[in-house]
Chains A and B, each alone.
Chain A
Amino acid sequence: MLQAFQQHRWPLVIVWVLIIAAIVAAPAVLPVFGLKLLGRFLSLSIVALGIDLIWGFTGLLSLGQGIFFALGGYAVAMYLQLNSSSEQPNGIPEFFSLYGVDQLPGFWQPFYSPWFTLIAIWLIPALLAALLGNLVFRNRIKGVYFSILTQAALLVFFNFFNGQQKLINGTNGLKTGVTKLFGEEVGSDLMQRGFFWLTALIVILAWLAVRWVVRGRFGEVLIAIRDDEPRLRFAGYNPTLFKTIVFAMAGGLAGIGGALYTVQSGIVSPQYMTVPYSIDMVIWVAVGGRGTLIGAILGALVINLVKFQFQSLWPEGWLFVLGGLFILVVTVLPEGVIGWLQAGGPRNLLTRLGVPRRIGTYPRLEIDGKEEAKS
C-alpha cells in the first residue's frame, strides 16, 4: 500500500518542481508582458483551488464562480479608481461624468479605505456565497439543481453589472491600468512585477489553506458528503453547515483570484461573469484532476497558456479545442491528468504497449509463469 503510494508520487513531485521552477525563474527570463500573463493564470489557479474544494472534494458543482471572481475584481478596481481620481471633475472616477453623475454612489464610499478593500475582496464574495449556499443547502437542493441555480445567480449578477452604467460603468467595466497605488501607476512594470510575486505567494498560501481543510477529519466529512450525504446525517453530522463553509471559502478564494487577475489584466468587466467563462473554470479543474489540488492549479495554468497561444493562431478554434479536451477527459481520464498519473496511468499505458511490469517482491514470478504456460 505504502509502496504503491510512493511509486505513484513521483509525477506529482515533478509537477510541483516544474511549477515552482517556472514561478521562480519567470521574473528573470520573461518580459513583463509574459510575466503579467503568467501572473494572471496563477490568479486563476486560486479560483480553481476553490472549485476543487467544493466540487472535487465535496461534490458541489458550481457554475457561478464568476460572480465571486468578478466581485473581488470590482472591489479592488473601485478602490484604485477612487484612489486616483482626485484630479477628476467632482473628485470622482471619470466615467461618472459620461452619464452625468456628479455624486459618488453610496456603496462606493467605503472603498476609499484600503483596509476595507483588502477585507472586502474576499469577505464580500465569501459572505454572498455563504448566504446563497445556505439558502440552497438547507432546502436540500442538490446535484444538477444546485448547478442550475448557481448559473441562474450568475446571469442575474451579469445582467445587473452589465446594465448599471451610472453605478459601476456597466458593460465597459472599470480600468485599473492607469490608476495609482502607493504613488505608482498600477500598470507599470515595477508594480506588475510586484503583483506577480504577490500572486505566486498567495497561490502557495491558498494551496496550504485548502490542503489544511481537505486533509484530516474535516476533509473526510467533505468526502462523506460527496459519497452519501443523507447517510452522514444519521451519523450526527449537519452537512448544510459543512457545505456552507466550503462554498464560502471557495467564494473567498475566487474573490482573491479575481482581484489579482484584475490588477494584472488592467480591467474588470461583466465579461468576468459570463456563463461560458464560469464553465471554463470548471473545465480547468476537470482536466487537471478533481480532488487533487495540484491538478486544479496545473489545469488552470496549462489550459490558459494553451488558450492564449491558440487564440493568436486560430481564435475561433479555441472552443473546439476546449470542448474536445473536455470530452477527452470525461471519457478517457475521468480523474483528470493528475488523477491519472496518481493512479499509475503511465505505467499502465506502458504495460498495455507491451513493456513488462517489474514486480517488486517476486521478480521471477512472471518468467516462471511463462515457463509453466509452455510446459
Chain B
Amino acid sequence: MTTALLEMRQISVSFDGFMALRDLNLSLQPGELRAVIGPNGAGKTTFLDVITGKLRPTAGDVLFKGRSLLNKPEHRIARLGIGRKFQSPRVFENLTVEENLALAVSHPKRPWPLLSAGLSAVERDRIAHLMGIVSLQTRAHQVAGSLSHGQKQWLEIAMLVGQSPDLLLVDEPVAGLTDEETDLTADLLKSLVGDHTVLVIDHDMEFIRRLESQVSVLHQGHVLCEGSMDQIQCDPRVIEVYLGRNEEAA
C-alpha cells in the first residue's frame, strides 16, 4: 500500500448550520492528476479552503505527507509544499508580471534574505522560463493589474508552478480562456504530473476530458463518485445531479 500524499478524512464544514462539506473523504497519491467536478455550490472551493488553512473544518482531519495540517497557518502549509490558484485570478496588481513571478519563485521567503540579496541566476532563469510558457515575456515589465482576464489566469498559473509545490490545487484555471489557451493549460498541467501532484477543479467538461485523469464528483459537500470521465458520465447519480433537477422541474 502506497501512502497517500494528501488525505482528507471525514471533513465537515458548517456555516451557521449549513453544511458546505459533509463527511468528505478524498485521498491523492503522489504524482497523481485528479479532476474534481460538481455543480455550483457543491463545496469545491470550500474544500480547497480547508486544505490550504483558510478555513478550519468543523470536524475531520487533513493529512499531508502523513502530517496533520489542522491548526497550521496558511503560509506554513504553503511552505510544506501546497500551492493554490484561486477561482477568480488573484495576482498582485501593482507589481509587474516579473515581480509577481519573483515572489512565487523566490526562496526562502523570510524578510532578511529578501532584504540582503537579489534573485539568484537560477531563479531569474526560472522566471524567464515561466514567462515563456505562458507567453507573457513581452509583458514582463507591465503591472499585472493591466493584464487581461485570461493573462491574469495564466500569470497566476505560472506563479503556482513557480512556487514548485508538491501539490498544486487549481481552481477553475480555464474560466475565461479561449479554446486554444484551454488546450495549452491542459497540456501544461499534464506535463507537471509525475513530479507533482495536481488537483484541478473545473466545470469545463472538454477540458476535464483532455486531462485524461481520474474524476471525483462533488455534490452537496460529499464525494458522489469517482472514476474515469467515461465512467462517471454514464453514472446515473451524476446524470441525476447534473440533469435530474431539470427533469424534475419539467
Contact = CB atoms under 8 A, between A and B. Distances in A.
Given A223-B94, A227-B93, A237 B75 contact: yes
Interface in A202-260: 212-213, 216-218, 220-221, 223-224, 226-228, 230-239, 241-242, 245
Contacts of A21: none
Given A220-B103, A227-B94, A213 B109 contact: no
A1 interface: yes
Contacts of B114: 216-218, 221
Interface in B70-91: 73-75, 78-79, 83-84, 86, 90
Nearest to A5: B141
Contacts of B177: none
Contacts of A1: 141
A224 B159 CA distance: 13
A216 B74 contact: no
B197 interface: no
A51 B141 CA distance: 27
Contacts of A220: 95, 99, 102-103
Contacts of A233: 73-75, 78
Given A217-B114, A220-B99, A236-B163, A231 B90 contact: yes
A234 B103 contact: no
Interface in B214-239: none
B118 interface: yes
Contacts of B205: none
Contacts of B79: 236
A255 to B, nearest CB: 21
Interface residues of B, number: 30
Interface string B181-200: 00000000000000000000
A227 B78 CA distance: 19
Contacts of A226: 94
Interface string A95-108: 00000000000000
Contacts of B119: 217
A224 B96 CA distance: 11
B104 interface: yes
A35 B114 CA distance: 40
B115 interface: yes
Nearest to B159: A235
Contacts of A223: 92, 94-95
Nearest to B145: A227
Contacts of A213: 115
Contact of B104 (A235, A241, A245): A235
A236 B115 contact: no
Interface in A329-356: none
Contact of B110 (A227, A232, A239, A241): A241
A1 B90 CA distance: 25
Given A224-B103, A236-B78, A241-B110, A231 B92 contact: yes
Contacts of A237: 75, 103, 109
B73 A238 contact: yes
Contacts of B159: 235
Interface string B96-132: 0001001110100111001100110000000000000
B151 interface: no
A217 B93 contact: no
B95 A234 contact: no
A21 B174 CA distance: 56
Given A217-B106, A217-B114, A221-B103, A238 B95 contact: no
A235 B163 contact: yes
Contacts of B84: 234
Contacts of A245: 111
Contacts of B90: 228, 231
Contacts of A217: 102-103, 106, 114-115, 118-119
Interface of B: 52, 54, 73-75, 78-79, 83-84, 86, 90, 92-95, 99, 102-104, 106, 109-111, 114-115, 118-119, 141, 159, 163
9 contacts: A212-B115, A216-B115, A223-B92, A230-B54, A233-B74, A234-B54, A234-B78, A236-B79, A241-B110
Interface of A: 1, 212-213, 216-218, 220-221, 223-224, 226-228, 230-239, 241-242, 245
Given A228-B90, A234-B75, 7 more contacts: A216-B115, A224-B92, A230-B54, A233-B75, A234-B84, A235-B104, A237-B75
